[in-house]
Chain A
Amino acid sequence: MSDSILENKIKIWIKKFISKQKNYKLIDIIQSEDLSKINNDHIKNFESYSSWCFTPDFTVIIQNTSNEKFEIMLINRTHKSVGLREIGEIMCFNRIINPTFSFLISNKGHSEEISLFMIDDNFNKKLMNYNDKYLIIFAFNDDNKNIKKESVIPFACRKLLDE
């Protein structure tokens, strides 16, 4: 799957995902920009944006319709199987921004080497939990724009991604 096909799938999925969230509205999708430097009014609404000196693959601004507040969803993507390096990178972003949702999307799911970390609560809590929220890892089907449901981890988050 080429870069542009995967990015396209992600953009379509973002819209679909947000439209299904009861209290959220999609405001903006920022692709591969240093968040501390981008001239974007929505980002500048966040108090600490000037310390966000890094570049997630997708930064999605969403609005909580119950209180009108802006919130963030972060997405990194990779063409390889997800390993510890990829998880570590987005988790550092998560621990700084504390996004409402955080996703790591791969063409291939996670690598076999880290399977045990993914399914064992002891490990995946240490590795994927931030402020009582979880980083969610998943892959798309090769031949359509849908999520491979069985690639989604943690399991507890599968319902959130029901299509």
Chain B
Amino acid sequence: MKKTTSLFYLLGLICGKGNILSNKNLAINFNHKDKYLEGIAHCPKCGWLATGFSDLLKCKNSNCKNSKSNCIDRNVRKIFNQKEDARKSIDENIIPFLKKNLPFEHQILSTDSTTILILDIRDQKIIEFVTNFFHEKTGFDNFDINEDLNKENNEFKTEFVNGLLDTCGFFNQGNWYPRTGKNGNTRMRVYLQIVRNWNLPIQIDNFLRDNFKIPTQTIRWGHPNIVDPSLDYFHHQQSPNGAFKEHQIKLLPETLQNFKIRLEPKKTLFKELLNHNQKVDFNNQVEDWLVANRKIDQKNIKPHHPLNNDIRISEKLRGKHINASWQINLIMGCKNLYKEMLSSKNKSVYQINGSKEETNFHKINEIFNQTAIKKFEQIIKTSPKKIKTKIKKKNKNISEIDTYKPLTIWLKSYIKQKFNEDSDVFDTSSQTLANYFSTNFKASDKYREKIKNLDDLNIRPDIIGISKKSNKIFFIESKIVSLGVKELGQIWSYSVLADPFQSFLISTKEISKSLLNVYAQNKDKKFLNFNKNKEIIFGQFNINEGVKLFNV
């Protein structure tokens, strides 16, 4: 098989936001969550950046009259129709470039927020090369950059980065940061957005440095200590999911000029960001997290975050307290930082506070741990935690939430009686499964893999049970309305995809006559079936009498 630029561009696209499907077709996602995107606004008087969220913007130059109030018309910004522009460039730029050297048929699936290009590659050797390149992994959230890529010629490596920029590159005017140049005080950055993949950010950082001498300005990791350092999401807003975000590899557009963006409006927006920085003029200075100060003092210690043990975090990092992003870079495999660590007097101390000179690990470690816990306790003490629960329908007698606890107890006893096994049963209705497990089972690893699969599928039944001996999974969906065919839909979909051992639909109300009718008249009960002829089991729950199962 001949290696070509198209092939390496394809690898970059897939690595950024692609999937290798079970039939070996390749799916590439081009996301356009907001229909319209705005370009940069400059003050018509002085040419500095103008910002704001209302219809009128304000100049960032404090010496300019337009900085005193919001008075610049928002329409000085160009408006881009993301979906239309992206769709057009997929047809006009991306597919023709891929077609140059790759034999494939394609399909496009388009929704308001994403356009998916699906390629059916008609060359088995290319498919094998792609799957081997990604070590048989199948999705952008777990792909790695294959080390062999470093050995390829420059043109191929450049095309790989071009692919990454088209799928996970973001070029937003809002991503400026305060830096003073000759003609302004704002500098624009672009970023690569990496979703749920903990290995890729530092692999990209290593790859860009080793092959193009391009430094990363910073990596914003989607880690609870970084995203939610004051436990605002976790504690104050009671929204633990907010503590996790995608990772962002922030780069200066000046460093990316040799790459080619093929997707609009990214291409035009990139030029706008680059022009802005060139106009402000930073004298060709680049910023690099690697040469920044690494020392962590006691005042920089972040509060302990209970979600540091969450299964969504890479195993390499799980359970570790992080005070600075560079610590994650080191743990996740930054080559340069690793070399620096080797030159320190005590590697363990270096990992904690970045000092190359200090050696008293136990003392420093204790101080850091105690400070983090103390800060955490202060936060928890000052604003008492309210229990957030999903708003559920209520009727006069009982709310859906009221059913969870008794149904949890019932399921535990059902598994014991029926299968002679002890079990763990969880009410999972108020948060994601991953959150639930990390906050309630800090020391437990045994369910992680099973639950991770369900979480990846975004499947959230109200109650989940897992038998301890044979690891059988049980689902319960609880309702407070009379059960009809309509109510079956959700638990049926969950069960078809996740294949639990048994799946229950339980209501406080009687099963509707209509469902009884359907049940009685459909002798084969096919409509209740999921994988290998398992059947959704109906039940009625009564606070005094417990659960009566209908079809077991």
Contact = CB atoms under 8 A, between A and B. Distances in A.
Interface of A: 34, 36, 48, 50-55, 81, 84-93, 95-96, 108-123, 126-127, 139, 148, 150-151, 153, 155, 158
Interface centre among B108, B115, B118, B493, by most chain A C-beta atoms within 10 angstroms, is B493
Interface stretch (B21-29, B259-267, B369-377): B21-29
A-B residue pairs, 4 tightest by C-beta = A88-B489, A53-B514, A89-B489, A109-B111
B522 A96 contact: yes
B488 A48 contact: no
A92 B23 contact: no
A121 B485 contact: no
Nearest to B33: A112
Contact of A85 (B115, B489, B520): B489
B527 interface: yes
Contact of A51 (B109, B497, B518): B518
A117 B488 CA distance: 19
21 contacts: A34-B514, A51-B521, A52-B518, A53-B513, A54-B486, A54-B518, A84-B459, A87-B493, A88-B489, A88-B493, A89-B489, A93-B485, A96-B485, A108-B112, A109-B110, A116-B27, A119-B116, A126-B496, A155-B107, A155-B109, A155-B118
Nearest to B87: A150
A96 B529 CA distance: 11
Contacts of A34: 514
B489 A86 contact: yes
B489 A127 contact: no
Given A109-B111, A112-B111, 10 more contacts: A51-B518, A53-B514, A84-B494, A88-B494, A91-B493, A112-B113, A118-B109, A119-B21, A127-B493, A151-B110
Interface in B14-53: 19, 21-23, 25, 27, 29, 31
Interface centre among B31, B116, B529, by most chain A C-beta atoms within 10 angstroms, is B116
B111 A91 contact: no
Interface centre among B108, B484, B485, B488, by most chain A C-beta atoms within 10 angstroms, is B485
Contacts of B110: 109, 148, 150-151
A120 B21 contact: yes
Interface in B451-501: 458-459, 484-486, 488-494, 496-497
A155 B106 CA distance: 10
Contacts of B490: 84-85, 88-89
Contacts of A151: 109-111
A58 B459 CA distance: 28
B109 A126 contact: no
Contacts of A158: 107
A91 B458 CA distance: 19
A90 B488 CA distance: 10
Contacts of B485: 53-54, 89, 92-93, 96
A24 B23 CA distance: 34
A130 to B, nearest CB: 9
A161 B472 CA distance: 43
Contact of A123 (B116, B118, B459, B497): B497
A50 B107 contact: no
B544 interface: no
Contact of B493 (A51, A53, A85, A116): A85
Interface in B407-458: 458
B90 to A, nearest CB: 10
Nearest to B115: A150
Given A36-B514, A53-B518, A120-B21, A91 B109 contact: no
Interface string B511-536: 01111011011100011010100000
A118 B497 CA distance: 12
Interface string B87-118: 00000000000000000000111111111101
A4 B27 CA distance: 36
Contacts of A92: 485-486, 488-489, 492, 527
Contacts of A153: 109
Contacts of A122: 22
A7 to B, nearest CB: 19
A117 B114 CA distance: 15
Contacts of B486: 54-55, 89, 92
Contacts of B497: 84, 117, 123, 126-127
A110 B22 CA distance: 20
A78 to B, nearest CB: 12
B514 A120 contact: no
Contacts of A148: 110
Contacts of A81: 111-112
Nearest to A109: B111
